[in-house]
């Protein structure tokens, strides 16, 4: 197997952009929102109970 | 990260077969770290039965006269010449690591040569870092009869070892090639972390409430790595830098979670070609070195009043286990020295390192779970593969096994202390002996990280665009959010003090 050079790989990506799929947008949005909500909850718990 | 990185004699991107071998090797290194760490831990515990099996280990004090710097650890071995103690320490580690090298199917002769050089250089760096004019804290200067010092503590030896490694890795390719077989920072740091578990067990025994609080806050803080870092880095890579999914997911994991392990687990979960996580891992380690050289000093300057915030920050911001825990160790030393100089407060050693390690270990625990979730999303939603199922057993397969060793040593010490409080002083003495080996494994980790960080080679590979994402996300987002969250969870939680 030939070893791909990263520079060539990256150049190839410029010409073949993969648009963000709706499922990717959901993944990003849900993950981030869950993180922020959990963060707020844990901060409160750590201040009140820990 | 062993073998994942570029030394001057290696291509930056290994072939598929090599990458699979690397994955296998990593698994073995995980288990080996557990066994080596437990072996040292068990030997040290013989002190509980009055048998001093590790007392001959070499120690280095802060020195003004080189001849008085080295000595055996235990008074029982005080008659032993320091040179013999040093040689005994070297041979002990050589034998233990040769057995490991055999298990890893390494070339034993090359490993022995490489290890010998690494040990000598690393310990020389430790020795140099213990020179009073570099290491002494202000309270020690009168006793050492010196008027000034850099106040860096003897942990400055870690930085010197890193610099020595960087010189070898970037300017002495022939030497780097000769050492390659023994340049295994992951093995060294994971062994050190297993031993560290016992040391933290002592800290937890002495300050149970504080230790419980630190563990709880450490668990809370890790959600950031997975849920707050990852989606933003993935989005930036995809939306603004045009990376394909195959590159963006391992890149996001590498930058957000725990560099090498996460990039490999994610790459495998989404079925990326092996070259992708390999290149990401290389980048992660290079930037971890930069963080390692900058963040502890920033933490010393700005966070000496909040030592545990600094410790958590190192665990969250510095990628790779080695660099994160190493940064914690340096920050520990620097902040304690600064707090003493500025406020006269002497914080107990080890708590900052302990917080960094705790945060990092909890982050590692979830890598398998995260990889499983990504594998499911990719196979079911993004790149649907009919009939393909993601197996739950993969969570265990990706679980970093050295954590079991860390938890075991921590719990064993805790259990002994709770069951027999009268034994605590002896357990403490045992862990102090084991800790000497932790320091040596730390040292070798620093040197090995330096050797593996070939900046020039990475640049030649055309990694600039990957580096651009890394710089933007790391310095524009991750470091600051990490600091904020460390502050939220650890602000006002202080380590125990010895005086002041």
pLDDT, tens digit (0-9, with 9 covering 90-100), for B223-241: 777 889 999 999 999 999 8
Mutation target vs A (from B6, B375, B462; most A CBs, 10 A cutoff): B462
| Tens digits of residue pLDDT in B333-377 | 999 999 998 988 999 988 999 899 888 888 877 777 888 888 888
Task: Please give the backbone phi and psi of residue B55, each rounded to the nearest 5 degrees, phi first.
Answer: -65, -15
In a domain, A4, yes or no: no
CB contacts, 8 Å: B381 with chain A: 23
pLDDT of residue A28: 95
Rounded distance, CA B33 to CA B364, Å?
A: 15
Q: How far is B254 from chain A (nearest CA, A)?
A: 16
3-state per-residue secondary structure call for B346-405 = EECCCHHHHHHHHHHHHHHHCHHHHHHHHHHHHHHHHCCCCCCCCCCHHHHHCCCCHHHH
Number of CB pairs < 8 Å for A and B? 102
With respect to residue B412, please indicate whether it lies within any of the assigned structural domains: yes
Residue B298: inside a domain: yes
Task: Flag whether pLDDT at B20 surpasses 70.
Answer: no
Given an 8 Å threshold on Cβ–Cβ distance, is B377 in contact with A20? no
Averaged pLDDT for residues B402-422: 91
Per-residue pLDDT at A1 exceeds 60: no
- Spatial distance between the Cα atoms of B111 and B147, rounded to a whole number of angstroms: 44
- Nearest residue on chain B to A49, alpha-carbon basis: B213
Residue B6 clears pLDDT 50, i.e. is over it: no
Q: Can you give the pLDDT at residue B110?
A: 96
Q: Do B275 and A3 make contact, defined as CB atoms within 8 angstroms? A: yes
Please tell me if residue B369 touches chain A, with a CB cutoff of 8 Å.
Answer: no
| Residues of chain A found within 8 Å of residue B254, distances taken between Cβ atoms | none
Which tops the pLDDT comparison, B154 or A43? A43
Residue tagged 């199922």 (tokens): B389
Q: Cβ A39–B228 below 8 Å, yes or no?
A: yes
Q: Compute the mean pLDDT over every residue in chain A, rounded to the nearest whole number.
A: 81
Give domain status of residue A30, yes or no.
yes
Supply the range of the domain harboring residue B189. Answer: 16-499
- Provide the pLDDT for residue B277: 81
State which residue of chain A sits closest to B234, comparing Cα positions.
A28
pLDDT of residue B17: 46
Calculate the CA dihedral of residues B131, B133, B139, B145 and round it to 10 degrees.
100
Q: Do A35 and B224 touch (CB under 8 A)?
A: yes
Domain-embedded: residue A8: no
Q: Which DSSP letter does residue A17 get? A: -
C-alpha–C-alpha distance, residues B473 and A23, integer Å: 23
Specify the pLDDT at position B388.
Answer: 67
* A1 within domain boundaries: no
Residue A13 lies in a domain: no
Whether the CB-CB separation of B222 and B256 falls below 8 Å is answered with no
CB atoms closer than 10 angstroms to residue B99: 15
Smallest CA–CA separation between A23 and chain B, in Å? 7
Question: What local confidence, expressed as pLDDT, does residue A33 receive?
Answer: 95
Work out the percent of chain B whose per-residue pLDDT is above 70: 92
Q: Identify the pLDDT of residue B233.
A: 94
**How many angstroms away from the CA of A9 is the closest CA of chain B?**
9
pLDDT above 70 for B385: no
SS (H, E, C) chain B: CCCCCCCCCCCCCCCHHHHHHHHHHHHHHHHHHHHHHHHHHHHHHHHHHCCCCCCCCEEECCECCHHHCEEECCHHHCCCCHHHHHHHHHHHHHHHHHHHHHHCCCCHHHHHHHHHHHHHHHHHHHHHHCEHHHHCCHHHHHHHCCCCCCCCCCCHHHHHHHHHHHHHHHHCHHHHHHHHHHCCHHHHHHHHHHHHHHHHHHHHHHCHHHHHHHHHHHHHHHHHHHHHHHHHHHHHHHHHCCCCHHHHHHHHHHHHCCHHHHHHHHHHHCCCCCHHHHHHHHHHHHHHHHHHHHHHHHHHHHHCCCHHHHHHHHHHHCCCHHHHHHHHHHHHHHHHHHHHHHHCCEECCCHHHHHHHHHHHHHHHCHHHHHHHHHHHHHHHHCCCCCCCCCCHHHHHCCCCHHHHHHHHHHHHHHHHHHCHHHHHHHHHHHHHHHHHHHHHHHHHHHHHHHHCCHHHHHHCCCHHHHHHHHHHHHHHHHHHHHHHHHHHHCCCCCCEEEC
Q: Is B2 exposed, middle or buried (0-12, 13-18, 19+ CB in 10 A)?
A: buried
- Specify the higher pLDDT residue, A49 or B280: B280
| B-interface mutation test, from A14, A20, A22, A24, most B Cβ less than 10 A away | A24
Q: Taking Cα atoms as reference points, which of B275, B343, B272, B255 lies closest to residue B307?
A: B343
| Rounded percentage of chain B residues whose pLDDT exceeds 90 | 46
Task: Round the average pLDDT of chain B to a whole number and report it.
Answer: 85
Residues in A touching B226 (Cβ below 8 Å): 31, 35
**Token digits of residue B34:** 């557990």
pLDDT value of position A16: 74
Please check whether residue B206 touches A, CB under 8 A: no
**Least CB–CB distance from B223: residue in A4, A24, A42:** A42
The reported pLDDT for the residue numbered B462 is 66
In a domain, A26, yes or no: yes
B154 within 8 A of B128, measured Cβ to Cβ: no
Q: Count up the domains in chain A and report the number.
A: 1
Domain with A33 in it:
19-50
Q: Does any domain span residue B8?
A: no
Alpha carbons within 13 A on the beta-carbon side of B70? 19
Sequence-ordered list of residues with C-beta below 8 angstroms from that of B29, at least 6 positions apart, any chain: B2, B104, B184, B186, B187, B190
* B367, burial (CB in 10 Å: exposed 0-12, middle 13-18, buried 19+): buried
Label residue B8 by pLDDT band (50, 70, 90): very low
Q: Decide if A21 touches B, using CB distance below 8 A.
A: yes
Specify if A43 maps to a domain: yes
- Reading the block at residue B395, the tokens are 């969570």
Name the token pair of B54.
């590790």
For residue B217, give the nearest of A10, A28, A46 by CB distance: A46
Question: Is pLDDT above 70 for B295?
Answer: yes
Q: Which residue of A has its CA nearest to B238?
A: A20
Q: What is the mean pLDDT of residues B152-176?
A: 88
Chain B residues within an 8 Å CB radius of A39: 220, 223-224, 227-228, 485, 488
Q: Is the pLDDT of residue B437 over 70?
A: yes
B38 burial via Cβ count (<10 Å: 0-12, 13-18, 19+) = buried
Please tell me the predicted confidence (pLDDT) of residue B386.
67
Which candidate, B305, B295, B306, places its Cα nearest to that of B329? B295
Give the total number of structural domains in chain B. 1
At a CB cut-off of 8 Å and minimum separation 6, what does B127 contact?
B60, B66, B69, B70, B157
Q: What sign for the dihedral angle of Cα B30, B370, B315, B290? A: positive
Cα dihedral B459, B225, B492, B428, rounded to 10, equals: -80
End-to-end Cα spacing for chain B: 42
Residue A8 to residue B247: CA distance in whole angstroms? 13
CA closest to B492 among chain A residues: A47
Residue in A closest to B466 by C-alpha:
A10
Q: Which residues pair with B233 in a beta bridge?
A: none
Q: Report the chain A residue with the minimal C-alpha distance to residue B12.
A: A5
A47 sits in which H/E element: helix A22-48
Q: Is residue A50 part of a domain?
A: yes
Please list every residue in chain A whose beta carbon sits closer than 8 Å to the beta carbon of residue B273. Answer: 4
CB-CB contact of B437 with B74 (8 Å) = no
What ipTM goes with this model? 0.90
Residue B461: the pLDDT is 67
């Amino acid at each position: 197997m030939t070893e791909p050079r990263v520079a060539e790989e990256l150049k190839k990506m410029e010409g073949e952009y993969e648009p963000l799929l709706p499922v990717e947008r959901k993944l990003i949005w849900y993950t981030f929102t869950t993180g922020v909500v959990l963060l707020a909850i844990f901060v409160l718990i750590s201040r009140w109970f820990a | 990260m062993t073998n994942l990185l570029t030394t001057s004699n290696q291509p930056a991107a290994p072939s598929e077969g090599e990458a699979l071998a690397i994955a296998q090797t990593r698994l073995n290194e995980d288990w080996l770290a557990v066994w080596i760490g437990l072996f040292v831990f068990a030997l040290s515990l013989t002190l509980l039965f009055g048998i001093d099996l590790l007392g001959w280990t070499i120690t280095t004090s802060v020195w003004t006269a080189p001849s008085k710097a080295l000595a055996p650890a235990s008074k029982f071995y005080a008659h032993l010449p320091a040179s013999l103690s040093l040689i005994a320490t070297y041979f002990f580690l050589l034998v233990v690591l040769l057995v490991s090298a055999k298990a890893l199917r390494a070339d034993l002769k090359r490993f022995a040569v490489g290890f010998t050089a690494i040990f000598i250089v690393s310990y020389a760096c430790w020795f140099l870092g213990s020179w009073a004019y570099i290491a002494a804290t202000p309270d020690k200067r009168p006793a050492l009869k010196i008027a000034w010092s850099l106040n860096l503590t003897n942990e400055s030896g870690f930085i010197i070892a890193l610099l020595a490694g960087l010189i070898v890795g970037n300017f002495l390719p022939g030497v780097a090639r000769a050492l390659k077989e023994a340049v295994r920072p992951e093995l060294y740091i994971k062994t050190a972390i297993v031993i560290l578990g016992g040391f933290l067990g002592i800290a937890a025994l002495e300050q149970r409430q504080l230790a419980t609080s630190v563990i709880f806050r450490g668990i809370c803080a890790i959600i950031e790595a997975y849920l707050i870092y990852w989606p933003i880095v993935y989005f930036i890579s995809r939306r603004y830098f045009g990376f394909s999914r195959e590159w963006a997911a391992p890149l996001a994991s590498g930058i957000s979670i725990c560099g090498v392990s996460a990039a490999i687990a994610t790459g495998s979960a989404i079925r990326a070609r092996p070259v992708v996580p390999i290149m990401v891992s290389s980048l992660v380690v290079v930037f971890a070195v930069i963080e390692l050289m900058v963040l502890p000093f920033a933490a010393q300057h700005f966070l000496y009043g909040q030592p545990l915030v600094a410790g958590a920050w190192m665990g969250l911001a510095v990628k790779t286990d080695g660099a994160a825990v190493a940064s914690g160790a340096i920050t520990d030393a620097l902040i304690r020295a600064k707090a003493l100089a500025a406020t006269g407060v002497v914080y107990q050693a080890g708590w900052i390192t302990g917080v960094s390690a705790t945060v990092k270990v909890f982050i590692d625990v979830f890598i398998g779970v995260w990889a499983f979730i990504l594998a499911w999303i990719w196979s079911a939603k993004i790149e649907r593969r009919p009939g393909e199922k993601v197996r739950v057993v993969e969570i265990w397969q990706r679980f970093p096994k050295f954590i079991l060793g860390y938890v075991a040593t921590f719990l064993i010490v805790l259990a002994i202390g709770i069951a027999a409080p009268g034994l605590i002083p002896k357990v403490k003495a045992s862990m102090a002996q084991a800790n000497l080996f932790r320091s040596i494994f730390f040292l070798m980790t620093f040197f090995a990280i330096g050797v593996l960080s070939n900046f020039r080679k990475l640049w030649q590979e055309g990694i600039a665009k990957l580096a651009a994402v890394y710089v933007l996300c790391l310095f524009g987002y991750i470091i600051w959010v990490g600091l904020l969250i460390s502050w939220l969870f650890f602000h006002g939680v202080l380590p125990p003090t010895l005086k002041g």
